[in-house]
Amino acid sequence: MTKAIIEVSGNVELFFDENSKEFQEAFESYKDCINNTATVDDMLKHVAHNIIRFGDERMVEGVGYIGLDGRNPNKLNYSGITVDSMYDNFDLDVIDKTEE
């Protein structure tokens, strides 16, 4: 059996206005539901993690819906956050491969 370790790297660009009503409500919801001592950066990492794993069409737990390419998703619980559509553009490198 062979074991391979793959390094995945890339960026997720999120856009938001920290002073918007939607963003403030999403941040309060995140603190109520996920982490009551969270910072904005904590919430943004949570959003990016969920988008990478599940895509942009689902609601992010504790945050709400995320827009795509600057467009509001026209759903209740919009978070005030949008993501660039290239969020799934990652570089992959085999960094180790060994026979076990």
The 3-state DSSP composition of the chain as helix, strand, coil percent (nearest 5) reads 30, 35, 35
Q: What is the mean pLDDT of residues 95-99?
A: 93
Question: For residues 2 and 11, what is the distance between their CA atoms, to the nearest angstrom?
Answer: 29
Rounded to two decimals, what is the model's pTM? 0.87
pLDDT in tens, 51-83: 999 998 899 999 999 999 988 888 889 999 999
